[in-house]
Chain A
Amino acid sequence: MAATLCMKLLRNQGWAPLVQSVRHGSKAVTRHRKPLHIIKQKLLAVTQYIPPARVVPPGAYPAENKCVQEDAGLSLLLKKDLKKVFEESKMVAVVQKNGSNAEDMMILKHRLCKHGIKVKFFPNQVTRSFLSDSVYCNMAPLFIGPTVLFVSKEPKVKEMLSALRASPQMTLLGACIDNTLLSAQGVVSYSKLPSVTVVQGELVSGLTMLTSRTASMLQHHPARLSALLRQYVKQQSPDDGAEAAPKAEAAT
């Protein structure tokens, strides 16, 4: 109490304080990194040194992006498998599978096996990399999402379409039949085509129709042939009837 009273008295009389603290407060040299004042921070950030971009001569460093990813062993095996599949089978169909369970898959596989169509699974990445190297590069955009391959040596399209119709979750995207890429509608129209022998027979009959008619006409009685020719000449030239008729008569 006395000290405080004395302190107050001293202050009122204008005396200098008895105890003055010289070194007090935060130090300038610290062991940790002292946080900068915000204004100093801003100043340093604004006046930071940005070195000029050095242009490297083109041949100085080796290119960074040339890392060629070598295929893992499994993907090589799968690619060999794919190659064999494409070489052996005449028909390769791509079907998207939307959530069919194991039972449905088994039933579908069984149905297709009866006609010699095999169901194959390959990872999309492997298929895409294989197709981009081979001739079938235009099939690459088909392989997105859950896809399944139906392969067979003989193009048995009708049976495949009927089996697919029975399972609504499978969507036919496209097919490669006899090295020809077909869309879904193309496959349907291919199935409606008659067989090769029928088409060949029709073509041959169409070509030989004319010659067979000529042969049959020649085999008839010659008088009939001459009458036909006279009639033909009259029809061809109605104005020059007088000149044409003696010529025809001279010929017969």
Chain B
Amino acid sequence: MAAPGKATVLLKAVKKITVQFCPFESNVRSTREFLALVGSEKARSTNMNCEVMPVVKHDKSEPVVDVTYVDGERLVMKGAKLTCSEMLGAFQSRCKDKDQQAKAGAKK
């Protein structure tokens, strides 16, 4: 499955991303691809304070992506039955909303 291209990942409103998965399971492909996209140089350059923490487990647990935003909101995505593009779309839409809110607040 090809990763969604030409989509710049904006991490400005994000404080921390924790990606937890068990690599020996078969349903972790989308989560790993999401991690590769979010942890890339481009994404990290948008916000150097954002931490991307991958956690590797071995207990047959489901892959989970936990995003903590700057204003305290949390986004939890269970990647077992989701595709990478779906996860990325949901994440990016929220990031954009937060970014616009922050910009509007700053302008005022």
Q: Judge whether B54 and A98 touch: CB under 8 Å.
A: yes
A185 within 8 A of B: yes
A127 within 8 A of B: no
Secondary structure dominating the interface of B: mixed
Q: Which residues of A contact B24 (CB under 8 A)?
A: 138, 141-142, 174, 183
Count of B interface residues, CB-CB < 8 Å: 22
Smallest Cβ-Cβ distance to B56: which chain A residue: A184
User: With A99-B41, A173-B23 in contact, is A146–B56 under 8 Å at CB?
Assistant: no
Q: Judge whether A183 and B36 touch: CB under 8 Å.
A: no
B99 within 8 A of A: no
In the assembled complex, the Cα of A173 lies from the Cα of B55 at a distance in Å of 10
Q: Which residues of A contact B57 (CB under 8 A)?
A: 184-185
In the assembled complex, the Cα of A216 lies from the Cα of B42 at a distance in Å of 72
Shortest C-beta distance, A99 to chain B (Å), equals: 4
Closest CB pairs A-B (n = 6): A98-B39, A99-B40, A183-B58, A184-B56, A171-B54, A173-B23
Q: Give B contacts to A, CB under 8 Å.
A: 23-26, 28-29, 32-33, 35-36, 38-44, 52, 54, 56-58
Q: A145-B36, A174-B23 are in contact. List 16 more A-B contacts (CB 8 A).
A: A96-B32, A96-B35, A99-B36, A99-B43, A141-B26, A142-B24, A144-B29, A144-B33, A145-B29, A145-B32, A145-B35, A171-B54, A173-B56, A183-B24, A184-B56, A185-B58
